[in-house]
């Protein structure tokens, strides 16, 4: 466990923060981003807006910093396929739902994968800790496949800003993201 933490801290220290995921477009309360995942042609993720957009945020996270916070939440890393604690990155493909996540991402160009929904906290030393409401196996897939940055959905302004401060490379409030209800997309969006 401590070795995995040290390796992750070293990775974070020796490189600049990654860029946020590329916004592909916002159409009728659905936002889609393109992720940079090595050896994958097209990986898209999405989030749907709704009635409670004022207190919902998209936080673009540095994958290594986010993983470090996942590691800090547990005392012992899980090595079995089943369980609720964090796994080492090398073991993530052994998670019992990993194949479902892989299938979802394989078809994400036509059916983008929903964002994970982490729960954040800070330990007694002021270090970020991350757990999940939904999406841990999707996150495992992104981490195991070398994605350097990805967006997640966070409920609550305080939690969103805590996550952004400790592991973020960008933040957007749903209310701003979906403010106009207009269709907009990047110039490099797929047709």
pLDDT tens digits, 107-153: 999 999 999 999 999 999 999 999 999 999 999 999 999 999 999 99
pLDDT interval class at 22 (50, 70, 90): very high
pLDDT interval class at 180 (50, 70, 90): low
Does residue 89 lie within any of the structural domains?
yes
pLDDT digits (tens, 9 = 90+) for 45-94: 999 987 777 899 999 999 999 999 999 988 888 888 888 789 999 999 99
Relative to beta strand 113-114, strand 168-173 is unpaired
- Calculate the alpha carbon distances from 174 to 51, 57, 103, 106, 122 in Å: 10, 5, 28, 27, 24
Q: What are phi and psi of 15, to 5 degrees?
A: -145, 155
Greater model confidence, 111 or 185: 111
Does residue 119 lie within any of the structural domains?
yes
pLDDT interval class at 189 (50, 70, 90): very low
Handedness of CA 112, 152, 33, 90 (dihedral sign): negative
Does residue 185 lie within any of the structural domains?
no
Give the pLDDT of residue 162: 97
Q: What does the pLDDT average to over 30-45?
A: 94
Greater model confidence, 51 or 187: 51
Number of domains in the chain: 1
> Residue 16 sits in which domain range?
2-177
Alpha helices in 21-171 (DSSP H): 63-72, 98-106, 136-144, 157-167
**pLDDT beyond 80 at 160:** yes
**pLDDT beyond 90 at 97:** yes
- Calculate the alpha carbon distances from 29 to 51, 64, 76, 86 in Å: 10, 30, 40, 32
Does residue 186 lie within any of the structural domains?
no
Q: What does the pLDDT average to over 25-50?
A: 92
Give the pLDDT of residue 186: 43
Does residue 188 lie within any of the structural domains?
no
Does residue 98 lie within any of the structural domains?
yes
Give the pLDDT of residue 178: 84
Give the pLDDT of residue 68: 96
Does residue 190 lie within any of the structural domains?
no
Does residue 189 lie within any of the structural domains?
no
């Amino acid at each position: 466990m401590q070795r995995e933490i040290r390796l992750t801290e070293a990775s974070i220290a020796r490189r600049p923060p990654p860029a946020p995921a590329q916004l592909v477009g916002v159409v009728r309360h659905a936002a889609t981003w393109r992720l940079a995942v090595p050896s994958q042609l097209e990986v898209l993720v999405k989030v749907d807006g709704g009635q409670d957009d004022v207190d919902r945020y998209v936080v673009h996270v540095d994958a290594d910093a986010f993983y470090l916070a996942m590691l800090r939440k547990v005392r012992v890393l899980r090595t079995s396929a089943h369980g609720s604690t964090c796994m080492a990155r090398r073991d993530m493909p052994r998670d019992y739902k990993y194949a479902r996540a892989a299938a979802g991402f394989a078809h994400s160009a036509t059916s983008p994968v929903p964002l994970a929904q982490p729960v954040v906290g800070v330990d007694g030393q002021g270090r970020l800790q991350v757990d999940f409401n939904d999406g841990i196996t999707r996150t495992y897939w992104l981490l195991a496949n070398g994605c350097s940055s990805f967006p997640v959905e966070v409920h609550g302004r305080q939690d969103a800003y805590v996550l952004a401060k400790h592991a973020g490379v960008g933040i957007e409030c749903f209310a701003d993201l979906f403010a106009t209800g207009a269709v907009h997309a990047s110039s490099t969006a797929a047709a």
